[in-house]
Amino acid sequence: MMDRRAFIAGTLALLVVPLAAEAQAPRRIARIGVLSAGAASDARVEDLRRELLELGYVEGQNLSTTYRWADGRLDRLPELAAELVAGTPDVIIAIGPAVWAAKQATSSVPIVIAFSGDPVSNGVVSNLARPGGNITGFSYMSTDLAAKRLELLNQMLTAHSRIAILYNPDEPATAPEMRQTEAAARTIGVTLYPLAARRVDDLEALFAAAIRERVHGLLVFTHGFAVLHQGRIIELAARQRLPTMYGWRDFVRDGGLMSYGPDLQVIIRRAASYIDRIVRGERPGNLPVEQPTKFELVINLKTANALGLTIPPSVLARADEVIQ
C-alpha cells in the first residue's frame, strides 16, 4: 500500500509545478518586435528566443513576436522600425545599428538595446545608470575594448606592425571605435591601413589590397556588417593567410584566429530578463544600461598552425579559451 504521506507529497508536487510555471511568465500575450540590421539566420536572435522560453514565454501561447530584418541594408531600417511601431508592441528589441532607427521611430514604445558599441558616445542614451525615456539595454563596449584588441593582435605579430582595419563606415559604432583604435596605434607604434566595406562584394578586393600593402594582420570591427558576412570574412582571412582579431568568440569557433570581448550569452540572458521586466510593467528608463564585467580572450590553435603562426607564451597564458 502506498504511504499516505508520500501520496500527499506527490499530489502537492503535481499541483505546484503548473502553478509555478504559470507564475513564471504573464498569462497575457506579450507582444515583442525584433529589429535587426542582419539576416533572419542571426544566431543571437535564436539565443534570445531560447532565453525567453526559459522565462516561460511560449510563442503562440503568451508570446507574439514580429521580426523585421534589414539583411545588411541600413537604409531600410527606418521603414522597418516604423512598421514595428505601428503594430504597438510592448517592447522592441533593437540589435546593433538598428537601435538608431528604433530610437527615431518612437519615444514611447519601450526599446531594449540587445547590443550596442557605446550607447552614450553614440547619443542613444545620455546616462548609463538611469537612461530615462524609453530606451535601456546592453553595451558590448566595442569602443572601450578597441585599444586592447589592437594591443593583443600586435603582440602576436612583428614589432611595429602594419595592421588593416575592416569596418563599415556607415555603422554608428564605427567612428568612436576608430578614434580609440587610432589613439592606441599611436601609443604602441602600429601603422593602420583602413579597409572600408559597405557591401559583401567589396571584401575580396579589399583583402587583396591589404596583402599588396604587406599588412601583418587584420582587426575586424565586429558590428552588424561583420556579423552578417562572418563566413566570408573568415574564409578570405584564411585564404590570404592573414592573422585576424575579432570581437566575439563565434568567429574563432568558426575558424577565425582570435577574439577579445564579452560573453554574448550573458548579455542575451540579461536582455531576456529586461524584456520580462518591461512586459511586467517596469519602465525602461529606470533600468540601467548594463556593461559586461568579464572579457574573454579566445584563440584557435588550429588556425594559428594553418597560418604558420606561433602564439607567444605571454599571449597564450592570458587566453580564457584555447580551441584545438
Spacing of C-alpha 322 from chain mean position: 21
Phi, psi (deg, nearest 5) at residue 45: -70, -40
230-239 and 203-212 helices cross at what angle (nearest 10)? Answer: 30
Whole-structure pTM value: 0.84
- Of the candidates 218, 150, 144, the one whose C-alpha atom is nearest the C-alpha of residue 189 is 150
Q: CATH top-level class for 26-139+264-286?
A: alpha beta
As a whole number, the mean pLDDT across the chain is: 87
First and final CA of the chain: distance in angstroms?
Answer: 57
pLDDT of residue 120: 64
Radius of gyration of the chain (CA): 22
Band of residue 40 on the pLDDT scale cut at 50, 70, 90: confident
Count of other CB atoms within 10 angstroms of residue 148: 16
Number of H helices and E strands in the chain, helices first, is 13, 12
C-alpha grid cell for residue 214? 604587406
Handedness of CA 102, 260, 184, 227 (dihedral sign): negative
Beta bridge partners of 34: 67, 93
pLDDT, residue 19, reads 40
Work out whether strand 295-300 and strand 135-137 pair parallel, antiparallel, or are unpaired.
unpaired
Sheet holding 244-246, edge to edge: 191-196, 162-167, 217-220, 244-246, 258-262, 295-300, 321-323
Q: Kindly report, residue by residue over 264-296, the tens digit of the pLDDT.
A: 888 888 899 999 999 999 999 999 988 888 899
C-alpha cell at 285: 528608463
Q: pLDDT above 70 covers what percent of the chain?
A: 87
Q: What is the pLDDT of residues 118-156, one digit of tens each?
A: 666 666 777 778 888 898 988 775 677 899 999 999 999
Confidence of residue 41 (pLDDT cuts 50, 70, 90): confident
| Average pLDDT, integer, range 53-81 | 94
91 has a pLDDT exceeding 70:
yes
Q: Is 60 exceeded by the pLDDT of residue 2?
A: no
Tell me the per-residue pLDDT of 207-248, one tens digit each, with 9 for 90 and over. 999 999 999 999 999 888 998 999 999 999 999 999 999 999
Q: Please give the angle made by the CA atoms of 316, 228 and 202, to the nearest 5 degrees.
A: 95
Could you give the CA distance from residue 123 to residue 99 in angstroms, rounded to a whole number?
11
**In the CATH hierarchy, which top-level class contains the domain 142-262+295-323?**
alpha beta
What pLDDT shows up at residue 241? 95
What residues does CATH 3.40.50.2300 cover in the chain?
26-139+264-286, 142-262+295-323
